[in-house]
Amino acid sequence: MVGEKRREKIYEFMFRGITLFIVLLLLLVLWFLLKNGWSVLSWTFLSSSWSHQDITNSGIFPAIVGTLLLGIGVFLFSVPIGIATAIYLQEYAKDGIFTLIITLTIRNLAGVPSIIYGVFGLAFFVWFLNLGTSLLAASFTLMGMTLPWIISTSQEALQMVPHSFREGSLALGATPWQTIRKVVFPSSLSGMLTGSILGVSRAMGETAPIIMVGATFFMPYLPTSIFDKFMALPYHLFILAAQHSSPYARQYAFATGIVLIGLIFIMNLAMFALRYRLRRKKVW
C-alpha cells in the first residue's frame, strides 16, 4: 500500500514537472527578448516616429498606433459577426445537415493558413472591392482568422448558461429572442468577451497576411483614415530582424518584440480584470 502511495506521488510530481515546462517556455521567450532588446528600450523609442536612416534616435510610435488601430478594426468587425453566429448555432439552429455544414466550415476556416487569408484579402478586399492596401482591408482580412476562434469560444460561453434560465424565461411567455437578450446574452457576455479579446490579440501579432493588404514599413505620418496604410509592430520587427542593414537593427527588432508582447499582455490582463468583475456577479 505504501508503494502505491509513493508511486502516486511520483506520477503527480512528473505531471507537475511537465506543466512547469510551460512556465519555463514563456520565461525563456521573455528572457531572450529582454536580454537582447532591453538596452535600447527608451521613451524616445516608444514615442518618436520612425526614421529609416537614424534608427538609434527614432522610434516605433506609428507602429504601436497602427497595431492598436488594427486591433480595434478587427474587434469591431469580427466580434459582432462571431457572437451573432454563435448565438444562431447555439440557440436557434436545429441539428441537421445545414448546421453540420456551418460547423464544418468554421472548423476549416480555423485551419486556413494566415498567408492564404493574406492573398485572399489582396484579391478580394484590396483589388475587387477596391479598398486599396489599407487599415480597412487589413481589418477585414484578419477577420477571417479571428472569427472561428470567437465563434467557438462564444458557443462555449453560451453552453455554460444553465438550461433552466432559458426554460424559466420561456415559461413566462418570453419569446426566444427576448430570452436571449435578457437572460442568455448577459449571462454569457464575460466568456464571449474573453474569447474575443484573445482572438483579436492573436490577430494583432500576425505578420504575413497584413504585409499584402495594408501594412507598410515606413510612413511619415499616422494613419488619418481607414483607407490609409499603416505601420505595424510585427512587420516592423520582421524588417528590422531580417531586412535592415544597420548594425543596430537586431537590437531594435528585439525591443519591438518586447513592446508587441507587452501590448498583448496588457490586453490579456485587462481582459482578466473585466472577466473577474463580471464573474463576481455570477453565483450559480
Q: Of the two residues 108 and 178, which places its CB atom closer to another protein in the complex?
A: 178
Q: Of the two residues 69 and 183, which places its CB atom closer to another protein in the complex?
A: 183
Q: Which of residues 175-194 bind another protein (CB under 8 A)?
A: 175, 178, 182-183, 186-187
At 166, list the grid cell: 432559458
Least distance (Å) from another protein to the CB of residue 172? 4
Q: Decide: is 174 part of the binding site for another protein (CB under 8 A).
A: yes
d(CA 33, CA 262): 11
At 97, list the grid cell: 445537415
Instruction: Give the count of beta carbons closer than 10 Å to the beta carbon of residue 133.
Output: 23
At 113, list the grid cell: 493558413
SS3 230: strand
Q: Which of residues 103-162 bind another protein (CB under 8 A)?
A: 162
Question: Of residues 56, 168, 218, 266, which one binds another protein by CB under 8 A?
Answer: 168
Question: Of residues 171, 225, 243, 245, which one binds another protein by CB under 8 A?
Answer: 171
In degrees and rounded to multiples of 5, residue 230 shows phi and psi of -150, 155
Q: Of the two residues 173 and 247, which places its CB atom closer to another protein in the complex?
A: 173
Q: Which stretch binds another protein (CB under 8 A): 84-92, 116-124, 136-144, 275-283?
A: 275-283
Cα of first residue to Cα of last residue in the chain, in angstroms, is 40
Question: Of residues 3, 17, 54, 95, which one binds another protein by CB under 8 A?
Answer: 95
Which residue in the block uniquely carries the three cell numbers 531572450? 32
Question: Of residues 173, 220, 225, 247, which one binds another protein by CB under 8 A?
Answer: 173
Q: Decide: is 94 part of the binding site for another protein (CB under 8 A).
A: yes
- Binding letters toward another protein, positions 187-226, x by CB under 8 A: x---------------------------------------
Instruction: Give the count of beta carbons closer than 10 Å to the beta carbon of residue 19.
Output: 10
* Contact status, residue 213 vs residue 119, Cβ threshold 8 Å: no
Run of H or E including 224: none
Q: Of the two residues 16 and 281, which places its CB atom closer to another protein in the complex?
A: 281
Least distance (Å) from another protein to the CB of residue 159? 15
SS3 215: strand
Q: Of the two residues 83 and 183, which places its CB atom closer to another protein in the complex?
A: 183
Whose CA is closest to 148, among 177, 110, 122, 112? 110
Q: Of the two residues 18 and 171, which places its CB atom closer to another protein in the complex?
A: 171
**Angle between helices 2-37 and 249-280 in degrees, nearest 10:** 130
Binding site for another protein (CB under 8 A): 94-95, 162, 164-175, 178, 182-183, 186-187, 281-284
